[in-house]
Amino acid sequence: MYKANSLEYQCFLFQKPEGMCDMARGFKLNTVNNVCFLTIPSFEKHRGIAHGFTTRIGGVSPPPFNAMNLGFSRGDDTENVKKNYEIAGDALGMDLSDMVAFRQVHENNIYIATKKDKGIGFSENRSEYDGIITAEENLPIATFHADCVPVFLFDPVRRVVGVVHAGWRGTVKRVVVNAIDKMTSDFGCSPADILAGIGPCIRDCCYEVGNEVIEKARGLTEIDISDCVSVKNNKYHIDIAEINRKLLIHFGLLPENITLCNQCTCCNDEIFWSHRKTNGIRGCMAAIIMLY
């Protein structure tokens, strides 16, 4: 099991990037019983909400899944993964046996979770959704990540929460926009009230992509992505976290209500799972949120 120590985690500088003064400061690093997870300070100002983005730190899985792997389909022993959920739930203050989660297929479908879905995250016959929204209390919802963008959503006025999995395909299909639309149409949320947190993911420093990805991203004509695309060593790089931030703002969220974590999963693969860095031999992190 990984042990948290201050020297290992001083590299975390969860601060807003230079020149982006309209953004909230970054995520907060927490250590509970040697489990390290990230939270969003703006969410923590409100009562009745628990949330967190897990890291690799604090579980029981052996290499190459060491240590906190929350993915049942990665090749890890099932009992290890179940134990990791128990450990993570204790740290986050949730009963994760009730978790709602689905198979993620890089689409833009959003699911509205209710009490009838309790525990479906552990079913082998899960449906396919890349975003979940709920207004139910004591119902943890989760998406899984290992480079793709995790987006947390919370409306403290209507008491509605959501999580979204946004890889480049989901991003160009506007999955976060669909989530905001569901919150407004199904729950009466106002985008100006919604708080968002964009968690650790592969950033443009490491995310080399082909021309087809850039062309798809340029199809997002409602926003300017010119500063999200760069060329390094004659290869395109793209910042999908920033693209999702711009989409949220364009569709009504206030810039000061969006918290962006400035950490790259590929650069920090000793702490985060990175599909690209490990060539797919990896575990999963989870973005988990619950009202209570």
State which H helix or E strand residue 183 sits in: helix 175-187
Tell whether omega for the bond before 64 is within 30 degrees of 0, i.e. cis. yes
Q: pLDDT digit string (tens) for 138-165?
A: 999 999 999 999 999 999 999 999 999 9
Average pLDDT over the chain, rounded to an integer: 92
Residue 12 above 60 pLDDT? no
Q: pLDDT digit string (tens) for 164-203?
A: 999 999 999 999 999 999 999 999 999 999 999 999 999 9
- Of 119, 191, 185, give the one whose Cα is nearest residue 153: 191
137 pLDDT band, cuts 50/70/90, is: very high
Q: What percent of the chain has pLDDT over 70?
A: 91
Six token digits for residue 129: 């959704």
Single-letter residue type at 45: K
CA distance 111 to 127: 10
- Quickly list DSSP for 85-113: HHHHHHHHT--GGG-B--B--SS--EEE-
Which superfamily is assigned to 6-291 in CATH?
Answer: CNF1/YfiH-like putative cysteine hydrolases (3.60.140.10)
What 3-state class would DSSP assign to 37? strand
- In this structure, what are the phi and psi dihedrals at residue 247, rounded to the nearest 5 degrees? -65, -45
* Maximum CA extent, the chain: 51
3-state helix, strand, coil in the chain (%, to 5): 25, 25, 50
Q: pLDDT digit string (tens) for 230-240?
A: 999 999 999 99
- In this structure, what are the phi and psi dihedrals at residue 248, rounded to the nearest 5 degrees? -60, -45
Q: Please report, for residues 1, 29, 57, 88, the alpha-carbon distance to residue 10 in angstroms, rounded to integers and kept in the order given.
A: 20, 10, 15, 22
Q: Are 46 and 56 a contacting pair, CB within 8 Å?
A: no
- pTM of the complete model: 0.92
What are the start-end ranges of the E strands in 141-291? Answer: 141-145, 149-155, 160-166, 195-198, 208-209, 229-232, 235-238, 258-260, 285-291
- Other C-beta atoms closer than 10 Å to the C-beta of 214 total 17
- Other C-beta atoms closer than 10 Å to the C-beta of 3 total 10
Six token digits for residue 18: 């230079």
Q: Are 64 and 71 a contacting pair, CB within 8 Å?
A: no
CA distance 54 to 181: 27
Domain boundaries, the chain: 6-291
Residues 217-225 have a mean pLDDT of: 98
Please give the pLDDT value at position 212: 97
